[in-house]
Structures are given as structure tokens and as C-alpha cells.
Structure 1
Amino acid sequence: MASYVDILKSEFPEIDTELFDYITGVLENCGSDFEDGEEVFEAVGGVLQEVSADVKNEDDVRDICLQMFNSLKMNNCHGARKQVLLDAPVQLSQISAHAHTEVNDVQGIWMMKRPQNTTVDAKKLEKAEAKLKAKHERRNEKDSQKSTAPVVLEEASASQSSSKKDSRVDLSGKNRSYDIRIENFDVSFGERVLLQGADLSLAFGRRYGLIGRNGLGKTTLLKMLSSRSLRVPGHITILHVEQEVEGDDTRALDSVLQSDTVREGLLTEERALNARINNGTADGTESVRLSEIYAKLEEIEADKAPARASVILAGLGFTPRMQQQTTKEFSGGWRMRLALARALFARPDLLLLDEPTNMLDVRAILWLENYLQTWASTILVVSHDRNFLNAVVTDIIHLHTQRLDGYRGDYENFIKTKEDRLKNQHREYEAQLQYRQHIQVFIDRFRYNANRAAQVQSKLKLLEKLPELKPIEKEAEVVLRFPDSFEKLSPPILQLDEVEFYYSATHRLFSGLNLSADLDSRICIVGENGAGKTTVLKLLMGDLTPVNGVRQAHRNLKIGYFSQHHVDQLDLNVCSVELLANKFPGRPEEEYRHQLGRYGITGELATRPVASLSGGQKSRVAFAQMTMPSPNLYILDEPTNHLDMESIEALAKALNVFKGGVVLVSHDERLIRLVCRELWVCEAGIVRRIDGGFDEYKHILHEQFQKEGYL
């Protein structure tokens, strides 16, 4: 097995010598004290993350730390001193009486082995040890059965009714329309019905935003479309940006170019034909076919493809150097961006996007908004970003109560139209209710009047023929609440004063960093991915120590931290109640359920394995875990990822009424505008405050786009 030194050199070939010596020194001196890979990550993971910010994410670094821990464990096992039995008691008093006894003699005593003619019955001893071992195994199996048992996740399925006419048209190939209409279909996830008797219409060239509460089935619907479990005409090409690009030796730019299969096929055929001509194996038809290929390449503007691919990559944050890197050099987040770039370059007939802004910083989101506004084919996007939807979509599809409702216009128009619809439905419901009550009053009044019997019977039949009266189903309001800490702390409760931080002399991150937070602070830190926003948060929390400068924190400060990789910190094999019980033992189950209920995890949701919850529901579980100790300062890293819009609004309200400080990193414009009173930009090794707030920051980014030619 490779040593931790070899692993470090292999995974970080360009690591600075000074930093390499520091990490190997920590592992060498403390290796025997580490109990698992997580402790290795806590010791050196932050350093390794910053060293490889462009190519490795937190998950990659955790895996590397686990490999190094296993290497340390193996070395410790091989180097451990074997314990042996002595053949007689050792009289230490006699040893001390003879001062001339050599040290080597004493060492020899301890290494003498018991001879085989022991008085202990070997068979009995073996039997007792086997019995004891079996007892321990049964106990361990009983204790860890729940936590180690693999979670069997439910699978999604879809079904739809179809007419013989539709089937004949599909088989004949006469349907050349790029509009999509799927009628009367059902979608289930395990035993739960997500959609029942639903209809979906997508007109070619329009951009649809699919919205709805967490856990209702938005992501599942996209998967049913991309897998063609729901019937989509075969001539319509579909691309679902769901999985990151596989890491290999392909350059990022080439990876994007290869996504245009038509262009790649023509170029491959061109090379093959030219090779046959050059080898003298041509049969005379090659020149004709080459002329056709060149005409087709000119028609699709193949010569402009590299420039177009480069513009897309640059807009998504790939520098010219990064565009030449191989895909295996990038972290998972950057490979997801690469998958998005490939989809944008390939220009499918139907583009499916699931929370595309989660992987992007504000700069890349603004670029993507502008790019998608000129998209020629159909888009169906799931997004929690209200401003992104307002900028991009032409229609809204609302998933609720197992059905889909369509609305023309952007998200703001959807909100207004939905409210108007609810008001009209409520008025219609009230009118029908009054009409029924009026008829019922007549029936009750003259039920036993013989002269009015015919009229009463007529009214009864009329009442039976009226359509079923259903009350208006209004979605319950999402409410989040962060418990207040009523202890008053004198300001500043947290401060960075002239902080300088770097991992090595050649990898400087910050200098002259000044930042302070009080109990009434509402600070947002923005900046491009890789600029060091998370590093600033770790300096604030004390997870990283400044090279120069001072971090000062109030002695009674309690920090609640929400990581953008919060799912990695949750035990997915247990339910939410067990999760809190394991983290905060000794409290009644009702307290755990009450805590989860504050964040919408109620009823059977609280008893489901965390792995089976949607992304937004897992975020709520993470909120419940974070707020259990009642911190007085929250540091939140991308808290809106996976939350639906109603939950983001509720989060903003909860933070505004919370009697404590808030420092957050976010790209969600809506949350920033609702919560933050200070905006700090992290770039080029400094963190500076922008007095004009988010509007000023957007103006700066637009000017950069225009200067760089991306708009």
C-alpha cells in the first residue's frame, strides 16, 4: 500500500515544499492519534483544499485524507511491538540490586517467549476465546445494525395513457413537430404518487420554469423526460445536465467541442476519406463525399466552433489556462460547469436544467441569464433563484397537489396571476356555497309540506346534479425560526484585524483583511468561485489561524455553521429524529420532533431515512441540527442551494427577526436583498465593502462583461 508521502506527492504534484514539509510533519507526529479519516481532514484538509481550489473540491480532499489515514494505520500496525508472555515472573527488586546489569540484558528478559509446555489447556483457551469473540460480534451487530444496513432507496416510475392514433403517428415518422405534449400521465416515487392525470405542454422555442415545493417531484419529472419514460417524439434531442463530466485526459475545450456529435462525425469522416486518398486506396467516390462534407461543415459554421466553445467556457468562469487543462484535473463542481458548457454548446431541441445556479457564482449566473435569453430551442429549468427565472423564462409550470398548471410570463407574473386565480376560485366557491345553502333552506322549510312536495323533489334533484363542491386548496405557509440567544454580548463579538493569510510564500490569499461582526450584523460576502470566500469564513470561525494579524472573538460567542456541503455531514442511513438524538443525546423524542417541525420536517418525513429526502428537505434537517444549541452568530455558506422559493423567503424572514449576528456567502440575489445590510466583495487577495450594495456589484460585473466581449 502506498505511503501517505506517496499519496500526497501523487495527488498534489505541484505542492510547495514548505507546505509539504508542514503536512508530512503533522501526519508523522500525530499519526497514531488519529482515529479516522475525518480527523486527518480536520487537521490538514483545509490546507489541501486551498492548495487545490481549482481542481479538487471538499469531497475529493476527504477521500485523499481517508487514503492517508489508512496508510498511517497500516504503518502503525506493522511497526507495533508484539506482546509476548514470559516464562517466569520478573523480580524487579533483584534487577535494581545488581546495578551492573546491562540494559540489553533487561531488554532480553522482556522478549523471552513462553515455551509450548504451558499448563493452560490450549483447546479450552481456544474455545473460550471463540465464545467471547462470538459474543462481541453479536453485540456489535445488534448495536450497528441500523447504522450499517444499506438504505434501499425507492425508484421513480411513470405511466401515461396513449391513443392508437398517437402511436401510429409516432411509428410512421410523420410527426416532425418539435412541440411536446404529454397528456394524462402519472409519476410515482416508490409508493408515493407525485403526479396523477397530469398534462404537460412545451411549445418549441419557449423557456419554461418548473417550480414547486421541495419533495413534490420536480427533479423526478426531469428524469422521466430525459430517460423517455414519458413519451417524447424520437426525433427530438434531449440533454439533461445532471451528472458531472467524467475526468480523463481530454482537455476542457475539446470536451465541449466533442459534445457536438454532428460536427465531430463530419470531421472524423473527413479525416478517414483524406487518409484513403493519401494512401492510394480511394475508389473515386471520396472527392464527391468530401465536397458534401465541406458544404455541411460550412453550413453549420464548424470553423467558428472553437471560438464559440471558448466563449461559453469563459462565461462560466474557465480561464484560458483552465480551458487547456484535462477534465481529470477539475473538482466535481467544475466538472458540473463543464457538463453545462457541453449542453449549451450542443444546442439540443429540449434542454433540461436542474438548479443550474447552484454550481455558479454571481458573475457566472449573470452571464448565463444573458446567454439563455437568446436560446433558440426549448428549455425546461428547475430553479429556486427568483431573479434568474424572471430574467430567463417565458412561462411558468407550477407543480402542486399532484398536477401541473401553466402560466404565461415570468415568475413575478406567475405570483400575480396565481393570486388572482385563487381570489376568483374563492369567490366562485363562496357563490356556489351560498346557492347550495339557499336550496337547502327551501328543502328544510317545505320538506313535510304536501303542497310543496313536487318542488322539494325538484330542488333535491337539482342539488344532486350540482358539481362536487371542493374547498380551495391553499399551500401551507413555510415558516422557519432560528431560536434567539438572549445573552447580550458587548461588540464587536467577532473581529479580524489586519489579517494576512497564506499556505506558502507562493500561495498568498489575503493581506490587510479587516472585518467585524456584531449581534445586529447582516453581512454578505460575494465573489467568484475560488476567490477565497470559504477561507474568510474559516478564518472567522477560527478553523484557520492567521499568519499575521489578529482574530478576536467574545468568550461567550457560539457560532452555528452551515456548510455548502452540508449533506456530507449528515448520516444518511438514519432518520432525522435519530440523527438529532445521536448528535444531542439524552433528550426526549418530542423535543427532537419539535425541533425538526420548526423546519418543515414533520410526520412520517421525520422517520424516513435521510437518504430518501429531497435536496431541500436535507437542507432543512441540516438547519435543525445547526440551530439546536441556540448559537448567537450564524455563518452560512450558500444556504439557499436546493431550497424552494417559499423556503428562501421563510429563511430571509427568520434571519431578519433573529436576535444575533449573520455572516453569509450567497449568490442568491433575492436572499441578499432581503437580508443583508453590508456587501463585501472577495477578489484579488482583498475583501472590500461596496457601499452601493448588490446593484453596484451587478453594475461592475456588467462592465467587465462588456469589456471582455461576453455581452
Structure 2
Amino acid sequence: MLSITDISIRLAGRLLIDQSTVQIPPGARVGLVGRNGTGKSTLFKAIRGELSLESGSISLPPRWRVGSLAQEAPSGPESLIEVVLRADLERDALLRESETADDPDRIAEIQTRLVDIDAHSAPARAAAILSGLGFSAADQARACSEFSGGWRMRVALAATLFAAPDLLLLDEPTNYLDLEGTLWLEDHLAHYPRTVIVISHDRDLLETSVDQILHLDRGRLTLYRGGYSSFEEQRATREMLDAKAVKRQEAERARLQAFVERFKAKASKARQAQSRVKMLERMKPIAALVTQDVREITFPAPERLLSPPIIAVDNASVGYDPAQPVLNRVTLRIDNDDRVALLGSNGNGKSTLVKLLAGRLAPFSGKVTRADKLSIAYFAQHQLDELDETGSPYTHVRKLMAEAPESKVRARAGAIGFSGKAADTLVKSLSGGEKARLLLGLATFFGPNMIILDEPTNHLDIDSRAALAEAINEFPGAVIMVSHDRYLIEACADRLWVVADKTVKTYDGDLDDYRRMILSSRSGAAARETDRTQVTEKTERPRGDNRRNALKQKITAAEAEIARITEIIAKIDGALSLPDIFTRDPKQAAQLSKARANAADALARAEEQWLEASTLYDEVAG
């Protein structure tokens, strides 16, 4: 059990958690929620022992392993599968020791323990996790250093999940995932066999993957049973009762104070008045509900609606190399009031499509027709890095209103969420959510006819995501969105387009249908077919997957595994060949025999993998 007892945490002079106590039982799946900046990540640091407590204690069972996502993405010449396999430190250490151990007793212990932890199935388990997070079989054999930072963070997540710690701490794990990877992770966490605490602003993950909600609010931790919807209902009821209790207490205070004021000067009533003074002193104040209204998000309406369609694409191909287009035969139409969500794994071409729609990429062939005077706003997470860190929201708005008077610039800064002193805060001091709000306001500043939103919910808390959904629904123009947030898609999109197999198709089902399809494909043979046809993009994923090289790497890895297991079997056979082993120590002999049988099974699997990869290599090589 994770026991958090009367803890207080202060950071940079600010009290984040104040004398809070909570008990989390083994096997619980907990969603940690709260506004940005309340101290959720700080609590994780305290649980990991990286931060000192001002008071109180945090205790774990002595043998529990605590795992969390690495802060830095792995990078190096090792293949993805090797990086993930090494996350199981015990298995890795046992395998290394098995290569040098020559004592029969120790060999038996090592092989028995490897059987106990199901070590020989580890490569299959690691491959399944990598596949679920969007890596094809060919990707898994490639060097980690070949992938971009975002993809390497997925590898770090895969390694953390594979290690299967007793306490799994995940801080916004979907930030590096597409919708497909998020759907897989939701399902994986829902079946995680040990204790997990996940910080997330994703309503669907909190609804489907956890069975308790830990709420951090105004420095206090409160544990609620059930998913996010149940939490919202329980919290609303609790706050209503608290508000009534505050009113009752205020009325009682007023009554006692009136009695004291009336009779404190009368000798006959002095004792009763003094008694009521003591009652007032003992009356512990009930924390009144502090309203934390979320600043709304608004998108300026375009000056006028254009004649439909505002964009028509006819049989277009587009990409970065005319010889290898990312998308082919794209035909689609966008009207004024369309709300379109783009589905499909990262690397399939969603960003390429939105760049085509935004006019940032010209088609190699086909035709793109845009309405006259069409204005498009484009928001993408990478643009956060383009903000001037030394500037403020006011200076960014001022650049867009160079001739406007001070009052109008201040008013416009306030309209996008930065009123008063907030407008003069340096960008480098803004939170991720505040930067996203600023960028949204700047991107849509002049009232566009169409807004393209590429992962707009990263860094936004749950309430801000709801405000974004409301802004999208109230906007009179068209909206194209790429998002891993299922809540946002379901709340706003009325059309779904799937970007896959080098083209774009309308998806007639809903997100529940799509979720079932994704989970089925990534856990079975359909995943391999998807991997085979997956398209890579120049700016998001390394291009030019060489299937021959990937197969060659698999052959080399299988050959190394065959050699390693063969050496282990030779050592076991040497121990079993001792003349008196069966009479002197029958228990040890039985362990060695069992270890040899398991090693023989592992050898057969490695040989089968080698044969399969060699056959495919010969076919590809021609």
C-alpha cells in the first residue's frame, strides 16, 4: 500500500500540499487530477524520493519497484527492442550472469528464476508493447538514434510499461501519442496488474483506465472511487454540502457574536457570554468553496462567409519527393461549417494533408481549388517554440496592432486571456497551457474562415479543454483538427477522415467503432498488415525504411540469441554430466533438467525466428 500521511510540500516558498493524507491500496488504478500548477508532478517527485517533505511521510512496501517515464528520450545505436528489453533490470542482469556462470548450483538458480519471471517470452511482450504504441516490426529492429525526439519518448514509455513496476507513475503519457496510440494505452492501463497513478487531462483515459480519482485542489488530496464522471458527480455533491455547511457556520457565528456583544457588559450574563466566546474560538472554520472560473477561449468570426466549397481537392498527390509522394489520389471537399477530425497513426500523412490544405505544400499532381480571399489559421504544438521568450502577450499582440492605441491593444490581449498584469508576463514565465492559449489567440487573430488545429490540447487542463471545445462549436467557420483527445473529437467533429494507405478516406463509423478496430489490429495480424503499408513523412519520422536491412538485423539478432542459448545448454549439460548429480542432489538435478527443457524451447523459438527472417530476406533480395 502507498501511504501518504499528513504531508506538506513547499516549493520555492509556495505551499503546494498542506497536511494531506491518503491511502492507495495495492492494485489500484488512480487518476491524479487538478489544475495546472497545483503540484501534481511535485507529488510524483516526493513519492520517488526526489523531493524532501516539509512534514509528514510517504511509505511504500519495502520490495516495491517504482517506475516512471524517463525525462530524457533514449538515444543510441541499440535497436528499439533492445532498449525496451533492458528496462527489465532483473532479466537483463540474469542473462548477463548466465553467460559467465559456471557453478552448477548458480546455473540452476539463474535458469529457474528466468523461468519464474517468464524471461523467454520477454521479446514477444516487448514487441507487443512497441506495436501498440505505433512501431512496426521493421521499426523495432532499427537504431533508437534514427528516430525523432517524440518517437523516442514513445520508446521510453514502452520501456517503462515493459518493466511493469509495482508502482507505475505516469505524467501526461499521451502527450507524445496519436489517437491510435492513446486508445491502445487506455486499454493497456485498464488491465495493468499492479498499482498505477497517472496524471492526465484526458477525460476518456480517466473514464476507461482508472478506478479511482485522486484530486489535488487548494493544497488538499482527496480520493474518490470510480472514474472521472463519478468523480465530477461526487465532487459537485461535496461542494454543495460544503457550501451549505459554511452558511450554517456563518449563521451560528453571527448568533454567538450577537449574544456576546449584547451581554458581555452585564454581570448577570458575563459567564454565559464568556462561554460563547470560547465556543467561537473552538469553532474550526469550514473551507469555503473558492470559485476557479476558467477563462473562456474565443475565436474571432470571419468578416464574411465564403461561397462553398471553401476548399476542393481533386485527385491530388502530395509529399516531399515527387518520386515518393506521401499521399495519392486525394479527393475531398470542405464547406464553411465543416468540423473534420483526421484519424490515422502518426507517419501516415496527417500533417502532410493539413499542410496541403493550408497551402504550405503544393500538390505534385491533381488540383486544389480555394475560395477567393480564403483565410486560414494554423495552430501546431511546435509553434510554441516560435514565441518570443523575452516578450510578453502584450508585445506579441502589439506586433499585430502596430498602429492601434494602447487601450485597444490591452483590450485585445485581455480578449485572448491576458488581462491586466498578465499581459506583461514574460513568455518564458508562462505555463505550457498559457503559451498554448496565447498561440491560439495569435493564430486566429484576424478572424479566419478556417482553423487547422494540430494537437491543440497538449498542456491544457481538463476545464481548458472543455473551453476549447466550446470555442470550436461556436466558431462559424470550418475547423480541421488532429488530436489524440477523444473527448474533443466527440464533442466537436461531425466528419471523420482516416489518413492511411497513402490516401484519405471518409470513415463512416464512430470513435467506438474506430477504437475496436485499432485495438484489434494492434493486437493481431492486422497490425502487421498496417505496419507493412505504413507511410513515413520527412519531417515527422525517418524516411526510406530499408526492409532488407531490417530483416538482416533480425537475422543477426536471432543468430546471437541462438549462440547464447546454445552456450547455456552446454553449461547445463556439463552440470548434468556429473556422475553423482542425480543421487547426491536430486532437487538440483531436477532444476537443471527443467532449465534445460526451457532453454531448448527458447532455442527452438529463436531458430524459428531466424528461419522466418532468412526466408523473407531471400524473397526481398530476389
- Asked if TM exceeds 0.5, the reply is yes
| 1:93-108 matches, cutoff 5 A | none
Alignment gaps of 5+ in structure 2: 53-57, 528-622
Quote the offset at 1:452 in angstroms: 5.7
* Amino acid across the alignment from 1:638: E
Matched residues in 1 for 2:282 and 2:405: separation? Answer: 53
Q: 1:587 to 1:403 in 2, by over 3 A?
A: farther
**Which letter does structure 2 place at the counterpart of 1:434?**
A
Q: CA deviation at 1:262?
A: 0.6
Q: Which position in structure 1 is the counterpart of 2:341? A: 524
Within the candidate set 51, 64, 69, 1:241 is matched to: 69
Counterpart mapping for 1:191-590 below 5 A? 191-226=13-48, 228-230=50-52, 233=60, 235-273=63-101, 286-440=103-257, 455-456=272-273, 458-468=275-285, 470-504=287-321, 506-582=323-399, 584-590=401-407
Change (3 A) 1:470 1:255: closer
Q: Give, in angstroms, the shift of residue 458 of structure 1.
A: 4.6
- Do the aligned partners of residues 238 and 599 (structure 1) sit closer, same or farther apart at CA in structure 2, a change above 3 Å counting? farther
Q: Give the length in aligned residue pairs.
A: 521
Q: Distance in 2 between matches of 1:267 and 1:469?
A: 59
Q: Could you list the per-position Cα deviations for residues 521-554 of structure 1 after superposition, in whole angstroms to 9, with x for gaps in the alignment? A: 1111111110100111000011000112222222
Contact 1:615 1:642 in 2 (8 A): yes
Q: Residue 597 and residue 661 in structure 1: after superposition, are their counterparts in 2 closer, same or farther (change >3 A)? A: same
Work out the CA distance in 2 between the residues paired with 1:429 and 1:667.
41
Cα distance in 1 for partners of 2:392, 2:386 equals 14
SS in structure 2 of the partner of residue 498 of structure 1: strand
TM-score by length of 2: 0.78
Q: Is the 8 A contact 1:185 1:199 kept in 2?
A: no
In the TM superposition, residue 338 of structure 1 has moved relative to its aligned partner by: 0.3
SS of the equivalent of 1:551 reads: strand
Find the counterpart in structure 1 of residue 2 from structure 2.
179
Is 626-635 or 664-673 further displaced after alignment? 626-635
- Whether contact under 8 Å (2:393, 2:427) holds in the other structure is yes
Distance in 1 (CA, whole Å) between partners of 2:137 and 2:286 is 63
Q: Distance in 1 between matches of 2:485 and 2:218?
A: 27
Q: 1:483 to 1:401 in 2, by over 3 A?
A: same
User: Which residue of structure 1 aligns with residue 605 of structure 2?
Assistant: none
Cα deviation, 1:415-465, whole Å, max 9, x if unaligned, reads 010001011111212222333344455556667777766655554544444
C-alpha contact (below 8 Å) 2:201/2:462 kept by paired residues: yes
Moved more, 456-465 or 570-579: 456-465
| Counterpart position of 1:698 | 515
Give the conservation status (yes or no) of the 8 Å contact 1:184–1:199.
yes
Q: Give 1 or 2 for the bigger CA radius of gyration.
A: 1
Contact kept, 8 Å, 1:384 with 1:643, in 2: the verdict is: yes
Is the 8 Å Cα contact of residues 245 and 327 (structure 1) preserved in structure 2?
A: no
CA distance in 1, matches of 2:49, 2:408: 43
Residue deviations 1:177-207, cap 9 Å, x none? x53424322131x344333333454332212
1-structure distance, mates of 2:5, 2:280: 36
Which residue in the other structure is 2:545 paired with? none
1:99 alignment counterpart: none
Aligned equivalent of 1:162: none
Structure 2 CA distance for partners of 1:649 and 1:515, relative to 1, 3 Å: same
Residues 690 and 696, structure 1, Cα contact 8 Å, conserved in 2: no
Does residue 1:665 correspond to 2:493, yes or no?
Answer: no
Task: State the alpha-carbon separation in 2 of the partners of residues 441 and 586 from structure 1.
Answer: 60
Judging changes above 3 Å, is the alpha-carbon distance between structure 1 residues 709 and 304 closer, same or farther for their aligned structure 2 residues? farther
**Structure 1 equivalent of residue 602 of structure 2:** none
Alignment of 1:76-91 (within 5 A): none
Amino acid at match of 1:371: H
Contact 1:443 1:456 in 2 (8 A): yes
| Whole-angstrom distance in 2 between the partners of 1:269 and 1:578 | 61
Range 631-640 or range 487-496, more displaced:
487-496
The answer for the alignment partner of 2:570 in structure 1 is none
Query: How many angstroms does 1:333 deviate by?
Result: 1.2
Deviation digits for residues 379-402 of structure 1 (CA, Å, limit 9, x no counterpart): 121111100111111211112212
Inter-partner Cα distance in structure 2 for 1:192 and 1:453: 44
Q: Are the equivalent residues in 2 in contact too, given 1:212–1:218 (CA < 8 A)?
A: yes
Unaligned 5+ runs, structure 1? 1-177, 275-285
Residue of structure 1 in register with 2:536 after alignment = none
Return the offset for 1:567. Answer: 1.7
SS state at 1:248 partner: coil
SS in 1 for 2:100: helix
CA change 1:179–1:309 in 2 (3 A) is same
CA RMSD of aligned residues (A): 2.5
Contact 2:184 2:518 in 1 (8 A): no
CA contact (8 A) 2:242 2:286 kept: no
The DSSP-based 3-state class of the residue aligned with 1:508 is: coil
Instruction: Kindly provide the amino acid, as one letter, of the partner of residue 427 in structure 2.
Output: V
Q: Is 2:499 aligned against 1:676?
A: no
Distance in 1 of aligned mates of 2:39 and 2:214: 13
Distance 1:510 1:223, change over 3 A: same
How many Å separate the matches in 2 of 1:587 and 1:626? 19
**Distance verdict in 2 for CA 1:223–1:561, change over 3 Å:** farther
Q: 2:325 corresponds to which letter in structure 1?
A: R
> Measured at CA, do residues 598 and 401 of structure 1 come closer, stay the same or move farther in structure 2, by a change above 3 Å?
farther
Q: 1:449 to 1:240 in 2, by over 3 A?
A: same
Change (3 A) 1:708 1:603: farther
Alpha-carbon deviations, 1:543-569, whole Å to 9, x = none? 000112222222222211111313222
Distance between the aligned counterparts of 1:447 and 1:226, measured in 2? 56
- Percent identity of paired positions between Structure 1 and Structure 2: 37
Shift of 1:504: 3.5
Aligned AA (1:375): Y
Task: Report how far residue 268 of structure 1 moved.
Answer: 1.0
What is the deviation of 1:480? 1.3
Q: Work out the CA distance in 2 between the residues paired with 1:678 and 1:661.
A: 12
Contact kept, 8 Å, 1:595 with 1:628, in 2: the verdict is no
Tell me: CA distance 1:295–1:603, structure 2 relative to 1, closer, same or farther (3 Å). farther
CA-to-aligned-CA distance 1:290-335 (integer Å, 9 cap, x gap): 1111111111111111111111111111111001000011111110
CA–CA distance in structure 1, aligned partners of residues 459 and 499 of structure 2: 24
Moved more, 701-710 or 315-324: 701-710
Greater relative contact order: 1 or 2 (C-alpha under 8 angstroms, separation 6 or more)? 2
Indicate conservation of the 8 Å contact 1:398/1:405, yes or no.
yes
TM-score (norm 1): 0.69
Distance 2:413 2:65 in 1: 42
Aligned to 2:587: none
What letter matches 2:311 in structure 1?
A: L
Pair 232,332 (structure 1): closer, same or farther in 2 beyond 3 Å: farther
